[in-house]
Each structure stands twice: as structure tokens, then as C-alpha cells.
Amino acid sequence: MSGKQKGLIVFVLIIILAAIVFVNQRMSAPDGFLSEEEVLSALSLTGPEKEIQDILQIDEQTYFVPFIANENTYGSSVFKWIGGEWEKSGEAESTGPLLVKGDARPYIVWHVDPEDDVTEWALYFIRTRNYSVSHLDNGNEQSFYSPHIQLSELIETGENNYGYAPVPVVMQKLSDVMQNTPEASEYMSLIMKLPLQWQALNGQGEVTDLEKTRGNGGGGSYNGEYVFILPGLYEEELE
């Protein structure tokens, strides 16, 4: 092998190694996070009067930042490390819990008015009955029935009026099983794979409707791939 050929091989190897280092740097989250000023500048739902309550690291590439806007509006924001930078993936105000896609598992996050006295979340995994018929290439029909599924788990809120918790393992496993049914699609979003709803419970174990939290009207903006606003559950929906 000539010296010219060896030099070419070395050059190609250097290019490959440089590309690997570049990709790893963009994919791996840094040790630090955004400053409070950078977080505040990324929040956009309400006016400039916002106060950050905390900055919580959920996992290496996910941060949860609860904030208060206009003195009595309780908000939640989620930031993800995407494409080599921190991006706001979701922001909501005056709502119940959000579903967040973490690095290895899903989480729920929340920030509510302390006057609502929420001590637990009753998290429900609910899928309605369904019957479907598909026509095969050979002309035959194949029917599929999925029964009603209703599973609930309690999640304690802790001392603060904000926090996060992993989605219970049993619900994640049930979701994995459902992905192997004829109804499932590889293009299903996280909220379709995890059809979760919630009820807020106060210190007496009674359902509370988050009257104080949602008094200003709730809403949000979010990246559909990483953050979802979970719907509340009414008693009449339970079986």
C-alpha cells in the first residue's frame, strides 16, 4: 500500500471519528440547563409577569419547570434536549396533569393551586370496548373484539403543589400488550398508547374539581410528540 493510499485512509477515518463525536455531542444532553432568564423568555402563553417556582430534572434530557403567571395562574412547562439544544416541548396553564415522554419511560407532571388541597391523583387507564372486522387478501373476514379496560392507580403529590411521577409500571406494561393487537399502529402517539385520565383527590379522599386551579380557564401549547394535556375523568364515565 502506497503512502498516498495510507494517507487517504487516515483522512477518511478522521472524518468518520469527527462525525461520530459531533453526533454524540448533539444527542447527549449537557451537564447544565437553561438559566431562569432563558426559561422565562421561552414561556409565551401569558404576559411577562411570571415567576419560576422550581427547576426539576426528570431525566438526562427532560426538565419540568412549574411557574406562576399573573400572581394566581399556575403553569407547567417541559423542556427537552432536541437536536443539540434545549427546546420547550410543552407549556400549559390552569390545567390538570400533563403526560410527558421521558428518555426511557413516560411521566406525569402537575402544578395546581394549593387551595385545591390535592394530595393524590387517581390515574386511570381506560380503553372502551371495540369490535372490528377486517377483510383479508384471500377474501375471508377476520374479526377482533377488545374488551373494556379500566385500571386505576393512586399517585401521592407530596409536600409541594407541583411535582412529577413516573406512569405506574402496570399501566406501561398494559400499553405494551395493547401494541400487539390488530388495532395498534406504529404511528400511534404516546397519548393513544397510554389512554390516561385523572381525578384529583383532596386530604379527605374526596374528588375535587380543581376549581381554584382552573378558575382562569385552562389551555396550553405543546409538541405532540413529547407532551400531552391529560383529560379529567367524570364519575359517570367509570364502570
**124 has a pLDDT exceeding 70:** yes
Domain boundaries, the chain: 1-28, 31-237
Stretch 95-122: mean pLDDT: 97
Q: What is the mean pLDDT of the chain?
A: 84
Does residue 190 or residue 20 have the better pLDDT?
190
Q: Which pLDDT tens digit goes with each residue over 51-67?
A: 999 999 999 999 999 99
HEC assignment per residue over the chain: CCHHHHHHHHHHHHHHHHHHHHHHHHHCCCCCCCCHHHHHHHCCCCCCCEEECCCEEEECCEEEEEEEECCCEEEEEEEEEECCEEEEEEEEECCCCEEEECCCCEEEEEECCHHHCCCEEEEEEEECCEEEEEECCCCCEEEEEECCEEEEEEEECCCCCEEEEECCHHHHHHHHHHCCCCCCCCCCCHHHHCCEEEEEECCCCCEECCCCCCCCCCEEEECCCCEEECCECCHHHCC
Confidence of residue 116 (pLDDT cuts 50, 70, 90): very high
**25 has a pLDDT exceeding 50:** no
**212 has a pLDDT exceeding 90:** yes
